[in-house]
Amino acid sequence: MQRVRLTFLDRLIKEPVVYQLGKKFDIVTNIRRADIQEGIGWVILELEGDDAEIDRGLEWARTVGVRVDPALGDLVEP
Amino acid sequence: MTHVTSLRCKECSREYPVGAFNVCEFCFGPLEVRYDLDAIKAAVSRESIAAGPNSLWRYAEFLPADHNPDVDINAGFTPLIRSKGLADKLGLEELWIKNDSVNPSYSFKDRVVAVASAKALELGFDTLACASTGNLACAVAAHAARGNMKAYVFIPSDLEAGKVLGAAIYGPTMIAIDGTYDDVNRLCSELADTYPWAFVNINIRPFYADGSKTLGFEVAEQLGWRAPAHVVAPSASGAMFTKIYQGFNEFAYTGLIGKVETKMHCVQARGCSPIATAYEEGRLIIRPVRANTIAKSLGIGNPADGYYALKVIEASGGSAVIAEEHEVAEGIKLLAEADGIFTEGAGGVAVAGLRRLVARGTIKPDEPTVLYITGNGLKTTEVVADVVHPIHIEATVAAFQDAIGARA
Ligand SMILES: Cc1ncc(COP(=O)(O)O)c(C=O)c1O
Ligand SMILES: [Zn+2]
């Protein structure tokens, strides 16, 4: 299980990314919270599945222009 | 005695009992500590606080853990100094410097860890942990040493040795991790789920964060029980910034100070400015960045409290400012030469931000302003190494006179 935040800052992202994550990959996606305004915003997702599969899915999301980060923010503090 | 009632989700307001967790199970929002402020109001007075210890524990009624001398190294109650040199340079009539660089392990992180370590003991933990590249690791290792607790400090393996000495000296188990920054981050979240340790900024983050409220309390008390017109503070995760404001507001609610009209200004360096960039773009949505700044102690690219910092700016009528990278060392030198305080990169960023706010006219000459200096310059000497150029002479009066000129 992984918790990630997907950030969409490019209005041009046409892919239905969350849908495709569950469709193209063997991942169950669960939206916990989101804030989207005029096509920009973020989604906090819980992803269930094999770690390697989740990694592949997230790598794909990056290639279509989505920013992927840990849901909680950075845990390494200066 | 604490006046904690529950942990509450900042997003969906669901309540949880007090324990070592930081995330809402329902919406993954961050949890914060809720207090019975009316009970606090009944319990405190200016006199009772003034009679308390000369440490942040004078505000114990407002904190989520009881004072535990076993783990106390006297964090807090640092000097608030009326600036002379910097104030004159900037044309400010009432500029105050909160010098938090003189905490026991030399940064404000002692405040958050003081509270986190006391709470960890209360919750039955015998081990403190964190992932850090500097100040947090020092504070965790120091408090664990004092509290006779075990400490695990995780650092990225490509750090310069000098930066971690200030933590290693206290004898924690130090673990250097090979991999990218993201790898380190992910590993730490997995470890926090697996090991029964108090990861100060993860599973006990709600308590930890409230240690920074004392930066608001102290300044208000030291100003003679009032909040300033402006606060200028450096931000990384944004947590400290939001808690300073919460501190002022809790003091107002409990009648210790009047209405809070403080404008909160957050400063970040160009190389890692996700909060300030969102502010400039006029949105509450943070675009995470990869940190690349000389002010390493502000290098958080995906700030957990960035959104809440933006809300504080909005609510207080404040702003966010970006300091250019070259201004960081300039700011450090300026503060040292003008007021005799040697700060690290984060302080340089704050000084640069203050200059910009004055130049913009956001801060007016007669408005009481507090500049937060949160870390110590001796930890980041590389940044200002170029100041060292002594005049080399032989040990003779003649050589001295040659170099400096004869006495008039
Ligand atoms: C010296 C110093 N100042 C300021 C900060 C920023 O604190 P925060 O992450 O709460 O914004 C940090 C650490 O992150 C720090 O080490
Ligand atoms: Zn919630």
In the three-class reduction of DSSP (H, G, I as helix; E, B as strand; rest coil), residue B287 is classed as coil
Quote the CA–CA distance of B37 and B360 in Å, as a whole number: 38
Length in residues, chain A: 78
CATH topology of domain B124-203: Rossmann fold (3.40.50)
Instruction: Name every chain A residue with its beta carbon within 8 A of the beta carbon of B199.
Output: 75
Predicted pLDDT of residue B408? 67
So what's the pLDDT on residue A12? 66
**Beta pairing class for B4-9 and B31-35:** antiparallel
Q: From the CB of residue B160, how many other CB atoms can be counted at a distance below 10 Å?
A: 10
- Over residues B113-140, the mean pLDDT reads 96
B274 lines ligand 1 (CB under 6 A): no
Work out the average pLDDT over B102-119: 98
pLDDT for B273 beyond 90 = yes
Name the strand (E) or helix (H) holding B52: none
Higher pLDDT, B193 or B308: B308
Residues sharing a CB contact under 8 Å with residue B384, sequence separation 6 or more, in sequence order: B329, B332, B333, B377
Query: Which residues surround the ion ligand 2 when the cut-off is CB under 5 Å?
Result: B 9, 11-12, 14, 24, 26-27, 29
Q: What is the pLDDT of residue B162?
A: 66
Residue B391 C-alpha to ligand 1 middle, in angstroms? 37
Beta-bridge partners for B319? B265
Q: Are A8 and A36 in contact (CB under 8 A)?
A: yes
- Per-domain residue ranges for chain B? 80-106+209-381, 124-203
Q: Tell how far the Cα of B136 is from the centroid of ligand 1, in angstroms.
A: 9
| 3-class secondary-structure state, position B299 | coil
Helix (H, G, I), strand (E, B) or coil at A36: strand
CATH 3.55.10.10 describes domain B80-106+209-381? no
SS3 for A40?
Answer: strand
| CB atoms inside a 10 Å sphere around CB B158 | 11
Is B239 touching ligand 1 by the criterion CB < 6 Å? yes
Residue B12, pLDDT > 90, answer yes
Contact B185 A42 (CB under 8 A): no
Question: Which residue's structure tokens are 């006391």?
Answer: B118
What value does the mean pLDDT take over residues B287-305? 93
Q: Note the pLDDT tens digit of each residue in B225-269.
A: 999 999 999 999 999 999 999 999 999 999 999 999 999 999 999
Torsion of CA A74, B249, B29, A66, to 10 degrees: -50
Sequence-distant (≥ 6) Cβ neighbours of residue B60 within 8 angstroms? B2, B52, B66, B67
* B283, two tokens: 């949105």
For residue B22, give how far its alpha carbon lies from the nearest alpha carbon of chain A (Å).
10
* Residue from the list B27, B184, B305 with its beta carbon closest to the beta carbon of A32: B27
* B55-75 pLDDT, tens digit each: 999 999 999 999 999 999 999
B133: pLDDT confidence band, cut at 50, 70 and 90? Answer: confident
Could you give the 3-state DSSP secondary structure of residue A4? Answer: strand
Give the per-residue pLDDT at A8. 87
Q: Which residues contact B165 (CB under 8 A, 6 or more apart)?
A: none
CB half-sphere exposure, B208, CA atoms < 13 A: 27
Distance from the first to the final alpha carbon of chain B: 65
Assess whether pLDDT exceeds 90 at residue B392: yes
Q: Which of the listed ranges B70-84, B173-187, B394-408 does the model predict with the highest average pLDDT?
A: B70-84
pLDDT of residue B158: 75
Residue B395 above 70 pLDDT? yes
The closest residue, in CA terms, to atom 15 on ligand 1 is B297
pLDDT (tens digit per residue) in B208-230: 999 999 999 999 999 999 999 99
Chain B residues near residue A37 by CB distance under 8 angstroms: 283, 285
Q: Which ligand is located closest to the Cα atom of residue B241?
A: 1
pLDDT (tens digit per residue) in B87-99:
999 999 999 999 9
Give pTM, 2 decimals.
Answer: 0.95
pLDDT band at B163 (very low <50, low <70, confident <90, very high): confident
Give the side-chain half-sphere CA count within 13 A for B219: 33
What pLDDT shows up at residue B164? 84
Is the predicted pLDDT of residue B374 greater than 70, yes or no? yes
In the predicted model, residues of chain A with pLDDT beneath 50 are none
User: Going from the N-terminus, what domains does chain A have, and what CATH number goes with each?
Assistant: 2-70 (3.30.70.260)
The tens digit of pLDDT for each residue in B338-353 reads 999 999 999 999 999 9
In percent, how much of chain B has pLDDT > 70? 99
Cα gap B42→B388, rounded to integer Å: 54
- Judged by CB atoms closer than 8 Å, whether chains meet at B298 and A69 is answered as no
Chain A residue set in contact with B, beta carbons under 8 Å = 3, 5, 7, 9, 32-33, 35, 37, 40-42, 44, 46, 67, 69-78
Residue B56 phi/psi, 5° resolution?
A: -65, -10
**CA angle at residue B51 from B45 to B52, to 5 degrees?**
95
Distance from the B295 Cα atom to the nearest Cα atom in chain A, whole angstroms? 10
- Per the DSSP assignment, residues forming a β-bridge with B174 are B153
User: Which residue reads 């990169």 in tokens?
Assistant: B345
Res B307 pLDDT > 70: yes
Task: Look at residue A11 in the predicted model and tell me its pLDDT.
Answer: 66
Q: Write the DSSP symbol of residue A33.
A: E
How far does B59 lie from chain A, in Å, by closest CA?
25
